[in-house]
Structure 1
Amino acid sequence: MIIHDSAIKHDKLLLLGALLCGCLHHMMFYEKAWGISYPLFMLVFYVYFYWAVKERCELRFDASLLMVLPIVLLSLTYTAFTNSLFAFLNALVIPVLIVIHTTWVMRKGAVHWYERGIIQAVLEQLFLHTLSYVPMPVKVAIRSLAGKINASRSQQIWKISAGIAISLPLLLLVVSLLASADTMFDRMLNKLPELLKQFEIIQFMFRTGWIVIVSIALFAYIYGLLHPKEIKQPMRVEDEWGRDSIKSANPDEYPLVANKPMRFDATITATILLIMNAVYVLFAVVQFSYFFAGGSALLPDGVTYAEYARRGFAELVVVTVINFTLLMVTLHGVDRSVPSMDRFLRVLLAMLIGCTAVMLCSAYFRLSMYEEAYGFTISRVLVHAFMIFLLLLFAIALIKVKKDHFQLMKPYLIAGMASYVLLNYIQVDGIIASSNIKRYETTGKIDTGYLGSLSFEVVPYLISLQSKHPEIEGAKEALQTIKDRLPHKLETSWLSFNVSEWRAAKALQKQTD
């Protein structure tokens, strides 16, 4: 009992130390350029580190301390120099050196910094030991503040808190992409700080989030160094017939069977989906108000409907890919053994798919208007096809949301293969040429040089364009460019026969005659 109380007290002090470091980090770096603050915070971090591990390893002037020297010297460059390239590179190199050094200090007997094993040790420290303790600060805080709270309720509270903390970086990324994609959504977000200015809630939340994230990261990293997760290594032995078999490292246990797959917690996942869906619903409302309404809603001065609609398709496609990843992780990697939570997650996933469909439609129409303004290219047409393919994948996934026994792999493979084959046979270059010619007849603008760089499928369209509009500049040159690419008959074998090439040569020869 005394040992348990001592461990709890140590965890509280460790969390308080991390919180102090988080506050100092905020004070040194918030709205301030990096300067002497960088080496000062390095000093703060190492004081916290050596205080936290003082019972496991002492501060000695040995070889391990020499690695602090390059860290100190690189940190001082933010004070001594202003080279932006090295400032960027050092921001990446210094954390890597710190992780290598602190991991080596804690595992001196097992690995040396110059051995290949240090890479595995560092990766384990970051992605196994540290990440597994990210919820730990919430547990310690709840245990400290709430006292003897109901165990199950306490567990749910920290899971929800962990879900909020995990969703914050993803939320910031998605919101920035959506704001970049849609002018009105960006303006609406910009108005929120004005509406809440009197309370300064946004600034308070940002500052608090800054301190919390830094504190949790430091606590989880140091706690992971002190309490690494045990990795059970199976050992290979020979049976009575001399065949290899895998047994547990503990001889008293039964031979190992297939491990149960790791599942993400349902409460944490539901919290993340709730937060993301709230943003997506808000974005969908903006789309129906301004974009799909055809400009019927009043746009601010200086923003035309065409300008508003022609931007943001790339950002929306990126958000759609993020949503698809979130959908797949939830469907296949989350523990949905509790029926009520399973139903709730299905509702959230259905909302996610619905909002994503709105984003895909918005991105599709935006790209169409962009093409009408600036022309059709291979990359833009392929993005169109990719959006249609994503919409198909989401539609198939909706069946999986409704019927859990439905297997996604087979229809996904069929859809992927069929879509790729179809993309090969629809003659993308021909579609590009035809669409650009129709655009020319409407706007009088066309890039014949680009058409001349496409495949032989565009020859009939260019010939038709030249015959209908002999005044157009560049069509003859584009056809000549394609003609120059045709192989000479005497230099080709019948084994190299190509239908498109043959048709292009025949059409160009007929035009010459």
Structure 2
Amino acid sequence: MSENLSDNYTAINSDNDITANANNNVSDSSNNTASAGNNIADSSNNTASTLTVGINMESETSNKTPIKKEPKYKFETLDIIMLPVVFILAFLCIKYYNLNTGMVTLGLGATLYIVLYVISVLAYAKLKAVKFNSESIILSVLMILLAISFTVFYNYSLNIFMQIAMNFMLIYLPVTVFNKLIKSETSALILYDYINALVFIPIHNATSFWICMFSKRGKSTSSTKTKYFLHIFLGLLIGTPFIMIVIFLLSSADATFKNIFDHLFNFDINVPENIVTLIWSLPMATYLYALIYGSSIEDNSKSFNIDKFNKSMDNAAFIPRLSLYTVNAVICCFYILFIGIQTIYFIDILGGSLPADFTYSEYARRGFFELLAVALINIVFIAVAKIFSVKNENNKYLRIHIILNSILTLALISVDFAKMYLYISTYGLTTLRIIPSVFMIFLCFVFAFIIMGEFKKSFPVTKLSFYAGNILFVLLCLANIDAVVAGYNLNAYMNGNLPYYDIYDLRESDMAAMPVIYKAWKNSSDKELKDKLHFCAEGIMGYYSFDIDEPISYNYSRNKAFEIKKHMNLN
């Protein structure tokens, strides 16, 4: 381009030599203008390069600016207030509701712990402006009612089931109240929701209790402080087994050292019991605070992708539906045959005759638990059919097969009910007959919900089944079944309605049966019957040679039984 400008400039000069002097003046003027233009161009270039350098310098400066990391925890005043509340809950849990607490010591303390736990979680959520859903209210009421049964009734037969149910609900309550369930309600992913509450949330927030304790009011904690506390916590967690091994080896090497730690671990040193409970309350408070506080802030969407899960479930579907239809058709044919045979048996029994070589007890007991197992297998079959069957095939026939399977299962459960009724009417009640009967009622609800779910896709089968089971179980705990069993059997025996019942079977009852036995013993004029009842009462109370005087372990039924023991002059 510079060469072209030079040529043009030469041509213009040569033309100017031929033209008049006036034109030379114009040429000079043009040259001066061109020179000025070049100067302006140079100035513009310099300005442009100056701006470019400025922009680059600003870019480099902005790149060097450090980005402030968002702190892991942001504690509010309410979170700090929850610290002593959670510590009190942990103390009550360790003292009155721990893994070593049995029905013998469950009482007012356990009820107090559970009721305060429920109230604390609800109040904490309410103050955080969390809107309660129907599930959180129902679950809270069920927990309080079950907790009351610890104080009022002595359900020894249900002890293990009561603690399993309560432990599940204690963990499940915070994620329900704070709406942190994967599908915002109890669903088929209930197992993941529970594991999330039991393990993942407490681990993700394991240091929150201690960091909140030492944090300044209204200040968020730095990630560095969180990291330090996490390292200390993990060090203690991982290092404890190694520390114990070292102590064991050193104790084996020196007798004096061994004696010191023997006394320490046996608590033979003068350490009050409550001090030891306070020490053990620290790790429990750490866990409870991590669960409750973590449930209020945890975002499950980061750890669980529902869309990805659904896609993986679709990819897991590999069973052709025709294969499932074939299996279900064959099984249903056997169910129909079995139900037909049982119907004939019942018609004969109503007519007064039993099948050959059968007694009432043998017929009633035979196949009872097997039929319960068949019902559970059908639930598994339906779940497999819905999860692992190929999804791009017609759903109409799958719905028909599921409905048919469910209806026949309900018929099998009816057969089980008939067997149980025959058994109870002949040999009386026991807790081992009541519990399976209630479980059969629960299965009826489950299969009824499954049938409804096939007609309405959005029907919450898992949610309703979960709460139906919990409601039935809580009602069972409030029914005082040990007393119900003793009362039914004793009244039926005295009225001559249980010809095969042995009154000495009352000895197998629990303390909850003592008021029933005492009432019959007190009101009876039959000396022989009174002696038998007295003997049964001694057999029941003979297993309990203790009397718990601590008010916090008070249990109404247990306390009543010990009062009756004094009135009846039992040994």
The alignment's TM-score, normalised by the length of structure 1, stands at 0.44
The alignment's TM-score, normalised by the length of structure 2, stands at 0.40
Which structure would you say has the larger Rg? 2
